[in-house]
C-alpha cells in the first residue's frame, strides 16, 4: 500500500475559545493526487491549510505529512512543502526575478536545478522579469507565486483558493498547470469555493461549518446523488422560493444561477404532474421542466440539507 502524503486524525481548532473553526477532521491524501478541499467561504478551508502548512497549531488531533508530525517536525515539513496563500504575498516592490531569487535562497534551493519544473510557467512571465511584482496583472502574479512556491521542488503543493478572483480563461489555464505539476509526481492539495472546479480534482472533500461532510472522487459524489434532479426557468425566483415552502412533495428546491433546481425524492411518474399542478395553482410562470445530471454543487447541497 502506498504511503499517505497527508494523514489527519481527529483535528480540532477553536479560535478565542468559542469559534469552532474545525471539528473532528479526518482525512487522507494519497501521494501524487490532486486533492480538492471544497466548501463555501468560512467553512474552515484556510484554517485547515494553515495547520497543514505548519503556520497554525491544532488544539487536538494528529497530522502527519509524509509520516512527519506537523507539530513536532514542522521544520522538516517546511523543506518539502510549497504554499500558495490565498492572498498575493510576494514582495510587491521587488522585481519578478528578485522574488524568485529570494525564495530560492529561502528554500536553500537552486534555480538552475529546478528550472525544468517551473519552465512552462516561467516562460510566460520571464518577459516581465524586471517588472515589480506589484505591477503584474492578477494572472501573472499568480504564476509568479506558483514559481516561487515550486522553486525547491516540493513533494506537496498547497494552494489556498488559487482561482478566487481570477477570470474564467486564466482559471482554466491554471488548472491545466496544476495537472502538469501533478505529472511531476507532486501531490497537490487545493482549496476552492467554486464547485465547478471540483471535478478537476482526483478526489474532493466537501467541508461545511468546520466539518468534513464527504470525501470521494467527484464522479462518486455524482453517482451517489439520491434525488432526481430537474431544472427550469422561472421569472420570479423570489416568489417561487416562498411558494415552495408549501410544496407537499418530498423535494428540495434551490436557485442555481439563473435557473431553478428541484431534487425530487418521489416516484416521478406521479410527482411531476403534481408539481406542475402545484405551480399553476400558485400562479407561478415557468418554462419546461427538464431532467438534468447533478453537479458537485447539487451533491453538496443534497448532503448539507440531508444532514440538517
Partner 1 sequence: MRTILILIKKEFLQVFRNPLLLSILVVAPLVEFMIFPFCADYEIKVLNIAFIDNDRSQISKDIIHSFNSSEIFVSKGLLDNKEEADEMMKHDQIDLLIEIPINFENNLYNNENTQIAVTANAINSVKAGIGTGYVQEIIGGYMQDFAAMHTPANMQAAISSANETAAQQKQGQRQAAAVPSAPIRTTNAAKVNISNIYWYNEQMNYKNLIVPGILVILVTLIGCYVTALNLVREKEIGTIEQVNVTPIRKWQFLLGKMIPFWLLGMAEFGAGLIIMKFIFGISVQGSLPLLLGITAIYLFVMLGLGFFISSVSENQLQSMFIVLFLFIVFVLLSGVFTPTEGMPGWAHKINYLNPMSFYIEVIKKIILKGSAFESVMTETIVLSVMAVIINTGAVVSYREASK
Which of 99, 295 has the CB closer to partner 1?
99
Subset of residues 130 to 189 that bind partner 1, contact rule: CB under 8 A: 132, 148
Considering the complex, what minimum distance in angstroms separates the CB of residue 103 from partner 1?
A: 7
- Residue 254 CA, chain-centre distance (Å), reads 22
Under the binding rule (CB under 8 A), the answer on residue 91 touching partner 1 is: yes
8 A C-beta contact, residue 43 and residue 213: no
- Whether residue 247 contacts residue 253, with contact meaning beta carbons closer than 8 Å, is answered with yes
Choose which of 27, 37, 38, 81 interacts with partner 1 (CB under 8 A).
81
Kindly list the distances between the CA atom of residue 40 and the CA atoms of 10, 157, 160, 191, in Å, as whole numbers in the listed order: 22, 21, 13, 10
Burial degree of 112 (CB within 10 A; 0-12, 13-18, 19+): exposed
| Cβ neighbours around 74 below 10 Å, total | 16
Instruction: Tell me, by CB under 8 A, how many residues bind partner 1.
Output: 28
Q: Contact between 90 and partner 1 (CB under 8 A)?
A: yes
Nearer Cβ to partner 1, position 44 or 218? Answer: 44
Among 10-18, 75-83, 174-182, 218-226, the segment contacting partner 1 (CB under 8 A)? 75-83
**Candidates 93-101, 161-169, 248-256, 272-280; binding stretch for partner 1 (CB under 8 A):** 93-101
Rounded-to-integer distance, Cα 175 and Cα 199, Å? 11
Nearest C-alpha neighbor of 68 from the set 59, 60, 80: 80
Residue 114 sits in the site that holds partner 1 (CB under 8 A): no
- Which listed residue (7, 9, 31, 88) binds partner 1 by CB under 8 A? 88
Which neighbouring-strand residues pair with 8?
27, 63
C-beta closer to partner 1: residue 67 or 106: 106
Are the C-beta atoms of 296 and 222 separated by less than 8 Å?
yes
Q: Which helix (H) or strand (E) holds 284?
A: none
> Which residue lies nearer to partner 1 by CB, 55 or 268?
55
The answer to whether 46 contacts partner 1 (rule: CB under 8 A) is no
* CB nearer to partner 1: pick between 89 and 236: 89
Q: Does 110 bind partner 1 (CB under 8 A)?
A: no
Residue 36: CB minimum distance to partner 1, A: 20
For residue 198, give the C-alpha cell: 471540483
Alpha carbons within 13 angstroms on the beta-carbon side of residue 112 total: 0
Contacting residues toward partner 1, per CB under 8 A: 53-55, 57, 75, 78-79, 81, 83, 85, 87-94, 98, 101-103, 105-108, 132, 148
Amino acid at each position: 500500500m502506498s504511503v499517505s502524503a497527508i494523514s489527519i486524525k481527529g483535528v480540532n481548532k477553536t479560535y478565542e475559545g468559542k469559534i469552532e473553526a474545525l471539528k473532528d477532521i479526518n482525512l487522507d491524501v494519497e501521494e501524487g493526487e490532486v486533492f480538492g478541499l471544497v466548501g463555501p467561504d468560512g467553512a474552515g478551508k484556510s484554517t485547515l491549510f494553515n495547520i497543514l502548512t505548519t503556520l497554525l497549531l491544532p488544539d487536538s488531533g494528529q497530522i502527519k505529512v509524509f509520516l512527519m508530525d506537523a507539530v513536532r517536525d514542522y521544520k522538516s515539513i517546511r523543506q518539502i512543502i510549497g504554499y500558495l496563500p490565498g492572498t498575493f504575498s510576494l514582495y510587491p516592490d521587488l522585481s519578478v526575478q528578485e522574488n524568485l531569487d529570494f525564495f530560492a535562497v529561502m528554500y536553500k534551493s537552486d534555480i538552475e536545478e529546478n528550472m525544468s519544473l517551473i519552465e512552462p510557467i516561467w516562460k510566460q512571465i520571464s518577459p516581465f522579469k524586471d517588472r515589480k511584482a506589484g505591477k503584474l496583472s492578477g494572472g501573472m502574479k499568480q504564476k509568479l507565486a506558483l514559481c516561487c512556491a515550486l522553486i525547491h521542488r516540493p513533494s506537496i503543493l498547497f494552494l489556498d483558493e488559487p482561482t478566487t478572483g481570477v477570470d474564467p480563461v486564466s482559471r482554466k489555464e491554471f488548472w491545466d498547470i496544476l495537472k502538469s505539476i501533478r505529472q511531476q509526481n507532486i501531490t497537490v492539495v487545493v482549496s476552492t469555493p467554486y464547485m465547478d472546479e471540483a471535478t478537476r480534482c482526483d478526489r474532493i472533500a466537501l467541508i461545511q461549518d468546520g466539518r468534513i461532510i464527504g470525501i470521494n472522487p467527484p464522479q462518486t459524489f455524482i453517482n451517489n446523488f439520491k434525488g432526481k434532479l430537474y431544472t427550469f426557468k422561472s421569472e420570479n425566483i423570489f416568489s417561487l422560493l416562498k411558494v415552495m415552502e408549501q410544496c407537499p412533495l418530498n423535494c428540495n428546491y434551490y436557485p442555481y444561477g439563473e435557473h431553478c433546481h428541484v431534487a425530487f425524492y418521489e416516484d416521478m411518474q406521479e410527482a411531476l404532474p403534481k408539481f406542475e399542478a402545484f405551480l399553476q395553482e400558485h400562479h407561478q410562470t415557468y418554462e419546461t421542466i427538464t431532467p438534468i445530471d447533478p453537479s458537485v454543487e447539487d451533491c453538496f447541497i443534497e448532503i448539507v440539507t440531508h444532514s440538517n
